[in-house]
């Protein structure tokens, strides 16, 4: 048998086994990380296709390599589907990741040293929204808005005041860990008032936006960036939407500005995900994510956990404040993992602990909802989370019992049954 025709298991059992182990981990644990999900078999087939083989620098009809006929077709399809799904003038589907999409958007809209105004990372912002240790904070003069000290929610009047003082060239609306809906219209009004451009980063909420379950930034923002692997449930990647007047600049910023060869197999997988997101089934899936988030939030509160902002609305995640529970976010997440429940530790507003320790965790419902779970399961999971956090530190028995319950729930709501 030639090297080219052997299966992964035959050609490289070592890698095959590691991937097999990861498949089993995904099948046998409850995944509550709101920025992760399970891609469909069709999305994974496109991502693992022969489209990985070719260079296609440039854009459809203007490639630097010959032989791109099918690459043009697939990129046009992905762009058309993204534009239709989000009712946008223009889509660029080449960015590799959320941060490279943001990098390209800044490159199109700003000059080095220009001022940007974005949410503080400690209050839910993102590394690529101007943090000093990131290219965005090194290249641009970043200023930040925080959340209201009373409500832990976005305070639009305060953002207006800061914007009037700072006079940013660009306002960034969007967050990685904010459990409330974002009012993009208010952001657009502020940007208009101070003469700033508006970029919305909807990496987390993109699926909700596509399904009409969250306010839509596309009509009001100059540029919208997003990932494709979170609530959108596509491959690990990203894209940019913009108004027609930004199309040329955005395209030039992505290529040749910050990227060279596009990942055409991943663009094919994005096309598949955009099609899946047009279905009625996907809209219902997004609405169930929100219903499940409400149910999980309410059940965690019944178990005596304080949620930052008091809950979640129109969203898929919540921030649990563990400061009154005598446990760090890190220890809580480690104990939960031992019981088969995977969450991420997270800073909360006003956190005095380091990002490695934190005082919070950030559970979310997109992955559980993909497995078909509904409100009764959210209630059950909140009870398991509470048991592990309250009793798991001192009891191997509790961890083992919850692990057993997790396995039963995973068996009742299987994932990737078709995979070997």
**Shortest distance (Å) from residue 92 CB to ligand DSN:** 19
Contact 376, 66 (CB under 8 A): no
**Shortest distance (Å) from residue 226 CB to ligand DSN:** 11
Residue closer to ligand DSN, measured from CB, 35 or 328: 35
Catalytic residue among 152, 201, 321, 377: 201
230 assigned to active site: yes
**Shortest distance (Å) from residue 132 CB to ligand DSN:** 17
Contact 418, 41 (CB under 8 A): yes
275 assigned to active site: no
55 assigned to active site: yes
Residue closer to ligand DSN, measured from CB, 36 or 357: 36
Catalytic residue among 29, 139, 225, 227: 227
Task: State how far the Cα of 237 lies from the Cα of 75, in Å rounded to an integer.
Answer: 14
Applying CB under 6 A, among 98, 340, 360, 367 the residue interacting with ligand DSN is 98
Residue 391, both tokens = 């009793």
57 assigned to active site: yes
What H or E segment, with its residue span, contains residue 286? Answer: helix 280-302
* Contact call for residue 176 and ligand DSN (CB under 6 A): yes
Task: State how far the Cα of 408 lies from the Cα of 411, in Å rounded to an integer.
Answer: 5
12 assigned to active site: no
**Shortest distance (Å) from residue 64 CB to ligand DSN:** 31
Please name which of 315, 340, 349 lies closest in space to residue 402, comparing C-alpha atoms. Answer: 340
Q: Could you tell me the CA-to-CA distances from 171 to 14, 166, 389 in Å, in that order?
A: 47, 11, 39
- Residue ranges in 103-142 that form contacts with ligand DSN under rule CB under 6 A: 126
156 assigned to active site: no
User: What φ, ψ does residue 158 adopt, rounded to 5°?
Assistant: -65, -40
**Alpha-carbon dihedral sign for residues 115, 117, 120, 124:** negative
Catalytic residue among 230, 270, 387, 403: 230
**Shortest distance (Å) from residue 277 CB to ligand DSN:** 19
Provide CB contacts within 8 A for 27, sequence distance 6+: 410, 414, 415, 416
* Contact call for residue 207 and ligand DSN (CB under 6 A): no
* Contact call for residue 35 and ligand DSN (CB under 6 A): yes
* Contact call for residue 365 and ligand DSN (CB under 6 A): no
User: What φ, ψ does residue 103 adopt, rounded to 5°?
Assistant: -60, -45
Catalytic residue among 81, 236, 345, 362: 236
DSSP category for residue 317 = B
The site for ligand DSN, by CB under 6 A, has a size of 4
Interface residues toward ligand DSN, by CB under 6 A:
35, 98, 126, 176
Active site residues: 55, 57, 201, 227, 230, 236
């Amino acid at each position: 048998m030639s090297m080219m025709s052997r299966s992964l298991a035959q050609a490289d059992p070592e890698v095959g086994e590691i991937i097999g182990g990861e498949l089993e981990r995904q099948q046998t644990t409850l995944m509550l990380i709101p920025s992760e999900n399970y891609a469909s078999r069709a999305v994974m087939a496109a991502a693992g296709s022969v489209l990985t083989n070719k260079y296609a620098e440039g854009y459809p009809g203007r490639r630097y390599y010959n032989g791109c006929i099918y690459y043009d077709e697939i990129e046009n399809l992905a762009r058309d589907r993204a534009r239709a799904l989000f009712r946008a003038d223009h889509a660029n589907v080449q960015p590799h990741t959320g941060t490279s999409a943001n990098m390209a958007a800044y490159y199109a809209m700003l000059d080095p040293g220009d001022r940007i105004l974005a949410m503080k990372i400690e209050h839910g912002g993102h590394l690529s929204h101007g943090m000093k240790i990131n290219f965005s904070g090194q290249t641009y003069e970043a200023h930040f808005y925080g959340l209201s000290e009373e409500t832990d929610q976005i305070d639009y009047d305060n953002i207006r005041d800061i914007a009037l003082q700072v006079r940013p060239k660009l306002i960034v609306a969007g967050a990685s860990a904010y459990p409330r809906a974002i009012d993009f219209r208010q952001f657009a009004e502020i940007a208009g008032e101070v003469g700033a451009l508006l970029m919305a980063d909807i990496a987390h909420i993109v699926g909700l936006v596509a399904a009409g379950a969250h306010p839509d930034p596309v009509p009001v923002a100059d540029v919208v960036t997003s990932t494709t692997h979170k609530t959108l449930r596509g491959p690990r990647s990203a894209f940019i939407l913009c108004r027609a007047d930004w199309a040329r600049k955005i395209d030039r910023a992505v290529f040749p500005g910050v990227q060279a060869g596009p990942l055409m197999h991943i663009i094919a997988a994005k096309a598949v995900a955009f099609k899946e997101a047009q279905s009625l089934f996907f809209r219902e899936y997004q609405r169930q994510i929100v219903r499940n988030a409400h149910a999980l939030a309410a059940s965690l509160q019944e178990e005596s956990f304080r949620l930052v902002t008091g809950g979640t609305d129109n969203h898929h995640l919540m921030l649990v404040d563990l400061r009154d529970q005598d446990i760090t976010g890190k220890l809580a997440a480690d104990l939960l993992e031992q019981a088969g429940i995977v969450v991420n530790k997270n800073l909360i507003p006003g956190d005095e602990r380091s990002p490695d320790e934190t005082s919070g965790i950030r559970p979310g419902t997109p992955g559980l909802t993909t497995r078909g779970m509904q409100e009764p399961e959210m209630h059950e999971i909140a009870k398991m989370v509470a048991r592990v956090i309250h009793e798991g530190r001192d009891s191997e028995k509790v961890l083992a019992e919850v692990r057993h319950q997790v396995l039963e729930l995973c068996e009742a709501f299987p994932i990737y049954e078709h995979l070997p």
